[in-house]
A and B are shown apart, each in its own frame.
Chain A
Amino acid sequence: VTVTVEVPAARPTIRTPDGDVGGAEALAEQLFTASSRYEEFGDEAASLRQLSDGWWGDAFEAYRRASASARDEHDALARTLERVARAATSYAETLRRLKAEADDLVDRRTRLDHLRQELLDDIASAAAPAADALAHLRDRAASLDADYRALVTDHDDLQRRTRANEDALRQAFQAGSKLRDALSASGGTGDTARNAMAEPGAPGHGATPAQVHAWWAGLSDAERAAVLASCPEVLGAADGLPAGVRDEANRILLDDDLATLGAKEEDGTLGDDEKKYLANARNAQQALEAATSYVDPLTGAKPGGQLWLYDPRAFDGDGRVAVSVGDLDTADDVAVFTPGINTDMADTASYARKMTNLYESARYNGDGSAVATMFWLGYDAPDGPTDTATLTEGRAEDGGRQLADAIDGLRASRPDDPAHLTAIGHSYGSTTTSYAVKEHRLDVDDVALIGSPGAGPADDAASFGIGRDHVYVGRDSRDLVATLGDEGWVGKGGLGLGQDPSSEDFGATRFEAESLDRSWHRNTGDAHGSYLDPDSESLYNLGLIVDGHGDRVNVAAQSHDPWYGPPEDPEWDRDPTRGVPGRSDTGL
């Protein structure tokens, strides 16, 4: 009797995408440099129009008209060249990812081929297999066939996206070549991108985050590659898009700034404002490096970093930026950290490192869930104690609106897989966070306010609308800023920015947050700035909250204000800990 086991054919032949990432990046950088030269031409032509101190008359007017044309045309050419350079950057970044995916497919093919050979060997050695052994062989063959089919599907998908990536750059080249196109406001933007950006739900025209999400989901691979290459400035800030897409777009913008402003720096034509933009860009780059090089202590893997928001020119050069440690698209637990006064884009790298501390604490003492922690500077934080904006809640109110939009964007980006989301606000950022939660019904699961000068519009934790037991407060007893908020029936005459959230009156869960290095007196230095220090009580408890286990924080007694005297902080006399398991041990 002959029995048959159909062994699937080994397939497919994996085709690694053509092209060299380094070579493509080099071309992009040269195009950025050329773009910056055109920009310099436009700037200088504009400056050279201003000869009126030394020249009047008809000839001068004729010269002014001609130089205005030169300025306008070279500005337009600079923008077109910049768009094409961005498309080349997008091509290089995507090519890098596609090649890595191809390598993975090759590995999968090798593993399947190995299993196939084992199956062939077992069939050859089984001269007259029993019925159950035969069934087992056939099961293995069927399973192998399914795996090969899946590999073919993934390989086809890779090839499709490879073609889309190449088409996007080809279109950019073609749309930026003819003089009429190169001088137009959309030079370098191909038809595919233009048409996709005109579809309903496209970002930049008032679409809601949910509409933007649906728009992206409905785009073809070719359209996605085209809009990413052509409109990164729109996609990078589009609420509702997957974080991975925003990250890709913002990295293109970052590469653009590093190359074009760097070229102007080399030419000695960098203006004062541009110097600040370049410093901001370099800081964002350092932050990304800190995030992407970080290694998860539990897995030894790198969770990666994402540039979720990037605009080094915003707020008169203070900049807008958000950097995450971990994948915002897939993490089970996501934390959004809002900083306080005196924070601008120059602090991004420092805060990215603090986000690695928070990530590590959440993972180290957590339940094994995937985590992402994001530093979010999407509002114009006051410049410092001497900035009059510090004394009022205006920036916090505006920032609360921005934060609510950001959270809406995050939520809309993964509607079918919502993360456990925690908003953490530090210092003035805690007031900003309070505005977002109270006034805009911030869609978060937990809120943590640390070093807070006051909870802005909220007098009571319950008014946040997420449940009193989901509102947490950390205050070092020596933190002077965190004692400014009102408490008791007398209050503090508007010294702070609303109710002290660590007080009995507010009714939140206060967690231990004393620093071992605390001073004997209250101050605005270390006591206010050490809430995210490794092996601190504060970081330990914040990690638990981020991981979704706020019910396990080490609770501290709330501050209270007896009628017969000044407010009393029960934590003042408690001995702090550092690195103690179950209290302040936050990582390896």
Chain B
Amino acid sequence: MSLMYVERDALLAASGRWTDLETLMNGTASLLRASNTAGLAPGIRAAGDAFLQTWVTYAAESAAIASGFADALRASASAYTAADESAAVRLNTLDGRLGPEQ
């Protein structure tokens, strides 16, 4: 890696938006869970129910994916901050001047 640059706030803002997506998809899972196939002919309700059930799990998985992105970005921001702070601590201990340590 020759280049690296990070703005901590940009990562945290993006993390917040991924969290919003997590909320959106949790809502979608609830929407699909509340949907029903009572309006369909009896012969196709089973297929409809199976479809809805499957897509509830997909929506929940999407929420988990969004949550994973949010967490990863937050963790990255923390890690960058920690690394920066750690580096700062170490670099602050450096003495670049000649002569006895002061």
Contacts and interface: CB of A to CB of B under 8 A. Distances in A.
- Size bracket, chain B contacts: 35 or more
B34 to A, nearest CB: 8
Given A18-B41, A33-B31, A63-B72, A55 B6 contact: yes
A20 B58 CA distance: 27
Nearest to A183: B58
Contacts of A67: 69
A41 B25 contact: yes
Contact of B11 (A44, A55, A84, A179): A55
A34 B44 contact: no
A177 interface: yes
B70 to A, nearest CB: 10
Nearest to B72: A63
Contacts of B37: 27
Given A37-B28, A40-B24, A66-B69, A54 B36 contact: no
Contacts of A351: none
B3 to A, nearest CB: 5
Nearest to B79: A59
B14 A19 contact: no
- Chain B interface main SS type: helix
A66 B27 CA distance: 23
Nearest to B11: A55
Interface stretch (A45-53, A208-216, A220-228, A376-384): A45-53
A58 interface: yes
B80 to A, nearest CB: 8
A37 B17 contact: no
Contacts of A488: none
Contacts of A41: 21, 24-25, 62, 66
Interface centre among A24, A37, A38, A81 (most CB of B within 10 A): A37
B69 A57 contact: no
Contacts of A57: 1, 3-6
Nearest to A35: B28
A70 B69 contact: yes
Contacts of A170: 43-44, 47
Contact of B9 (A22, A54, A56, A74): A54
Contact of A173 (B10, B27, B50, B66): B50
Interface string A159-173: 000100010011001
Contacts of A300: none
A323 B32 CA distance: 34
A27 B35 contact: yes
Contacts of B25: 37, 41
Contact of A27 (B7, B27, B48, B72): B48
B24 A37 contact: yes
Interface string A245-267: 00000000000000000000001
Given A19-B41, A177-B55, 6 more contacts: A21-B39, A57-B1, A58-B4, A70-B66, A170-B43, A170-B47
Interface of B: 1, 3-7, 9-11, 14, 17-18, 20-21, 24-25, 27-28, 31-32, 34-44, 47-48, 50-51, 54-55, 58-59, 62, 65-66, 69, 72-73, 76
Closest 10 CB pairs of A and B: A23-B39, A54-B10, A54-B7, A57-B4, A18-B41, A173-B51, A19-B41, A24-B39, A20-B39, A173-B47
18 contacts: A23-B36, A26-B39, A34-B32, A34-B55, A38-B62, A48-B18, A53-B7, A57-B1, A63-B72, A81-B55, A84-B51, A92-B39, A166-B41, A169-B40, A169-B44, A176-B51, A177-B50, A177-B51
